[in-house]
Amino acid sequence: MINGNEQSASAKTSGAVDATFNAILSLVDIDPKLQLYSVTNVTQGTDSLGEVNVRLEYEGKIVNGQGVDTDIITSSAKAYVNALNKVMTNVERAHPQI
C-alpha cells in the first residue's frame, strides 16, 4: 500500500529478486543504490525462515532494511520496502547501524 492505496507492478529482468526490486521501484519516485544484499537462514529445515538484509543509499542517506519469510523473494521484498520506507522518511541517522 502506498498512501493507503493498494498498488501492483511487474518487471522483467534476469532474476526474481532483481525483478521484485525493480517492480517496487516503479511505484515510487526515487532510485536508491543497493549497497548490500544478504540472505541468512533463521531456522533449519525445508520450511526454514530466510532473513534478508539490504542497505540502500540515496542522496547521502544510508539505511538498512530487514525482512523475514519462508519465501526468499517475499523476504527480499519486505527488506527492500523496509529500507525504502526509511529512505523516504525524514529521520536523520548518523550511521546505518543506529
**Nearest CA among 60, 59, 63, 53 for reference residue 84:** 63
- Please report whether residue 52 resides in a domain: yes
pLDDT tens-digit map of 47-74: 889 999 999 999 999 999 999 999 999 9
Q: What is the pLDDT of residues 14-23, one digit of tens each?
A: 899 999 999 9
Determine, yes or no, domain membership for 83: yes
Evaluate whether residue 10 is within a structural domain.
no
- Whether residue 58 lies inside any domain: the answer is yes
For residue 7, being part of any structural domain is answered with no
Return the pLDDT at 72. Answer: 94
**Number of domain units in the chain:** 1
Provide the CATH number for the domain around residue 52: 3.30.160.340
How far is 41 from 39, CA to CA, in rounded Å?
7
Q: What is the pTM for the complete model shown?
A: 0.84
Alpha-carbon gap, residue 31 to 22, rounded angstroms: 10
Q: Does residue 51 sit within a domain?
A: yes
Q: Is there a domain that residue 55 lies in?
A: yes
The Cα 25–Cα 87 span in angstroms is 13
